[in-house]
Chain A
């Protein structure tokens, strides 16, 4: 309690509060720029933390972290480009809503979802960090494999119009992900004797090219005049309170999934929003509308990816093991401050822990306000004349992509992925399954092969692990149920056609 009051007092310090809000706003801005992501935001701030005390440093880093995760949703909805990889699943329903002229509402849903996801994860972090950290240890390679498979089933949801094309797109993503070093033996694959390919295809250039650059190409090719574009209602509109409360299940479940997956080191927010999306599609009464502009889809993705922030801090603070690359950088910053995260942190630096909890809580509330303020600015920005905007986007994409690794090859990857994405759009292939395959492929491959070493090559051993078994069954049920519905819908449609013909 004393700690809580102390934490509130330090937060009330105008300087710290300003840093917190400023960090959040800067995070949103960076997150909204395609290519510029959370890791970059935090790395940029790292030198600043060397000269600041622990509290302002933490306030700044947390603000940037939550802000950038949220910011990715703005460009996902407005320009069909996830601003950060975490927002990839937000595109699935966010942009269709935008096309229907409900972009303002989509932004509202994303904002509310981010805030609720973040807040729930903080509460879980406070209440159950040590417990969750222990539970996370139950997840070994075999469990990761089962989790990856389950997340892969969301390909079905996002390629509902044409399952075959969706499946092929997913295989393409899986294939591209195998370029580079074999995670088990260290051999390099599909490199065509090119050194850069040996390092593999990086996520950001691939994603930025596939979604954003191909969108630019598409618009140029379409040559739409500004009047034709669906710019109606590109402001910002909060959804109604009753609308929010009636969807409490999606919020709750997605927040729990996000927090939980956040606690697993190495899985990450991108995969978590996909798992959450797959689960929401499975259980939502509006499941049929997923991929067509269904708010539940935005909620599932945005609640989960912001809930990851609290979740990722669980192992970071309680075990000293970062939950994702972003918390890894934060961990480095804490160590330089002389704070060693780990089991003893709760005892030795209890005051700081409480400060972290309170700051994260406030950051998530700030998202609600800042989102409402900054959302309309962004949506007005996209009303800029198309040639100007496309040029600007192009420059931003290039800068963002290059800034990740200062590697010119990444720009070539972006260009090639852009051409690939454009070709797929022309042939009416869905893009989302490519990303899903690309993100989940390495996780599934590595955990499967690690698991096989552990199981001494006996795949049956996988089914003797209770957690994995449950996940296998859920995936199988979901697949079976989807197949059944697909078949039934097909018959129904056929019946209808026959009816009209007769």
Chain B
């Protein structure tokens, strides 16, 4: 009897412990956030700003680790390989997911991730060289139509989101402007300012930061930070494109961890501190839940895959 009792209570205790383990509040220790780009870039600053707010909400430390290289693919691959327990997450902009797999053999596909949330975005904007003869997007298009291949535009790299956005636009209007890729925005923007290229496609955050002369913004609506810059839609075109990213994790996250991270992410997107830091960077918080991000990644991958097939081959 006594034995049975002990057994039962041991069992009960065991159950309680395991239930406790299952119910244990995620997270119970520090989280590593991998940023697949070197320190100091847009993604890194975004990742660090997000990590600071997230760490307050989740009440654990979040260590930001930069794993650069291969246009973001090396770090992204490392996230895909990580243990799916919620303690390794990635702050990834869309390019390594929706562009790079179409350009090289990556050891991951978009199926290898659990999508926690989308968190930040910045629309693409086309900036002109300081002494440009143009004053509107329509003028650029008209000139390029009459003088095919004479104008040049820069981007932060082949296969970057600005590169694809511009190619998408050029496809829409069916004109030819030569692409000059740079190694990141620093060299690209300087070349634009020096008038070595005619225009530069950049994420909007670069416009106020470098005081660029933006001629159009590829968004649904004008941006508060630059109320004078018209959207491409206003000018009669249809292309919209943005640079965006969020928190991703290796596939197979426990449901409670995913839910906790997703809700923490939503709170981050709503936090004033986060909005202010992003505002300083010319970007904006934008929350999308787990399933919506998956859809957006799938669509983006399809659209950009088609553009890349055309542009690179």
Residues of A within 8 A of B104 (CB): 181, 188, 191, 195, 198
Is A384 an interface residue, CB under 8 A from the partner? no
Is B146 an interface residue, CB under 8 A from the partner? no
Judge whether B158 and A186 touch: CB under 8 Å.
yes
Residues of B within 8 A of A200 (CB): 69-70
Q: Which residue of A lies closest to B281 (CB)?
A: A335
Is A187 an interface residue, CB under 8 A from the partner? yes
Residues of A within 8 A of B49 (CB): 336
> What CA separation (Å) do A450 and B156 show in the bound complex?
12
Residues of B within 8 A of A139 (CB): 190, 194
How many residues in B have their beta carbons less than 8 Å from beta carbons of A? 56
Q: Which of A142, A321, A335, A336 contacts B190 (CB 8 A)?
A: A321
Residues of A within 8 A of B197 (CB): 140, 454
Judge whether B187 and A405 touch: CB under 8 Å.
no
A42 to chain B, nearest CB (A): 8
Residues of B within 8 A of A284 (CB): none
> What CA separation (Å) do A147 and B196 show in the bound complex?
16
> What CA separation (Å) do A140 and B154 show in the bound complex?
12
B194 to chain A, nearest CB (A): 4
Judge whether B78 and A140 touch: CB under 8 Å.
no
Judge whether B48 and A184 touch: CB under 8 Å.
no
Q: Which of B158, B186, B195 contacts A322 (CB 8 A)?
A: B186
Is B136 an interface residue, CB under 8 A from the partner? no
> What CA separation (Å) do A138 and B40 show in the bound complex?
25
Is B179 an interface residue, CB under 8 A from the partner? yes
Query: How many A-B contacts if CB must be within 8 Å?
Result: 156
Q: Which residue of B lies closest to A194 (CB)?
A: B105
Judge whether A407 and B67 touch: CB under 8 Å.
yes
> What CA separation (Å) do A191 and B104 show in the bound complex?
10
Query: Which candidate, A326-334, A368-376, A389-397, is the interface stretch facing chain B?
Result: A326-334
Residues of A within 8 A of B50 (CB): none
> What CA separation (Å) do A266 and B185 show in the bound complex?
10
Judge whether A453 and B70 touch: CB under 8 Å.
no
Is B149 an interface residue, CB under 8 A from the partner? yes
Judge whether A39 and B186 touch: CB under 8 Å.
no
> What CA separation (Å) do A136 and B61 show in the bound complex?
42
Judge whether B179 and A453 touch: CB under 8 Å.
yes
How many residues in A have their beta carbons less than 8 Å from beta carbons of B? 58
Is B176 an interface residue, CB under 8 A from the partner? no
Residues of B within 8 A of A453 (CB): 152, 178-180
B5 to chain A, nearest CB (A): 53
Given contacts A328-B41, A407-B78, contact A141 B196 (CB under 8 A): yes
Residues of A within 8 A of B106 (CB): 195
Judge whether B40 and A199 touch: CB under 8 Å.
no
**CB-CB contacts of A299-339 with B at 8 A, as 1s and 0s?**
00000000000000001000111100100111110011010
Is A180 an interface residue, CB under 8 A from the partner? yes
B290 to chain A, nearest CB (A): 27
B112 to chain A, nearest CB (A): 13
Judge whether B66 and A43 touch: CB under 8 Å.
yes
Judge whether A454 and B186 touch: CB under 8 Å.
no
> What CA separation (Å) do A83 and B152 show in the bound complex?
41
Is B267 an interface residue, CB under 8 A from the partner? no
Judge whether A39 and B39 touch: CB under 8 Å.
yes
Judge whether A265 and B186 touch: CB under 8 Å.
yes
Within 8 A of A (CB), among B112-158: 149-150, 152, 157-158
Judge whether B280 and A335 touch: CB under 8 Å.
yes
Judge whether A315 and B190 touch: CB under 8 Å.
yes
- In the assembled complex, 25 residue pairs joining A and B whose CB atoms fall closer than 8 Å, in A order, are A46-B48, A136-B194, A140-B195, A140-B196, A180-B70, A181-B158, A183-B183, A186-B157, A187-B312, A195-B106, A198-B70, A199-B69, A320-B210, A321-B185, A321-B189, A322-B40, A322-B186, A328-B39, A328-B40, A332-B39, A335-B281, A336-B277, A405-B69, A456-B150, A456-B178
List 9 additional contacts besides A140-B195, A202-B69; criterion CB under 8 Å. Answer: A46-B48, A137-B195, A184-B158, A199-B73, A199-B74, A322-B186, A336-B45, A342-B210, A454-B197
**Interface positions of B (Cβ within 8 A of A):** 38-41, 44-45, 48-49, 52, 65-71, 73-74, 77-78, 103-107, 149-150, 152, 157-159, 178-187, 189-191, 193-197, 209-211, 277, 280-281, 312
Q: Which 10 A-B pairs have CB atoms at the shortest separation, nearest pair first?
A: A199-B70, A140-B196, A186-B158, A328-B40, A137-B194, A329-B40, A265-B186, A266-B187, A199-B69, A186-B159
